Amino acid sequence: MKRLAALVLLTAAPAQAGVCITQGETLSCTDAGETVILKGGEGVAYSRLAGRPMTVARDSQGNMIGLIGEQKLIIQKLDGLSVARFGNRKMICAEAGPGITVCK
């Protein structure tokens, strides 16, 4: 039920969809607006705000952390939901396919 709520929140947001193509270990995204797109448990995240991908790693508490430009990205699991903080923004995350997480 909580995953469904996250999906509803993601789809209820104004549509400015990002297009992502995975080629091997490379994730290419375009036109993602303020969406942060994460590939795999540890790997690559992308935000159009910074205009480039970044490397994401897991810290000692199990949170995903990284930097996009000068903004810190933190993704935490709380009560079965994934939530993200990107700079001063708060986002909800949902799985968008095998190994792809979208935070909006």
pTM of the model as a whole: 0.54
pLDDT value for 75 = 81
Query: pLDDT tens digits, residue range 32-60?
Result: 455 666 655 555 665 555 556 667 777 88
From CA 15, how far away is CA 46, in angstroms rounded?
Answer: 17
pLDDT value for 11 = 43
**Residue 74's closest CA among 33, 39, 45?**
45
* Res 14 pLDDT > 50: no
Going from N- to C-terminal start, the domains of the chain cover 2-103
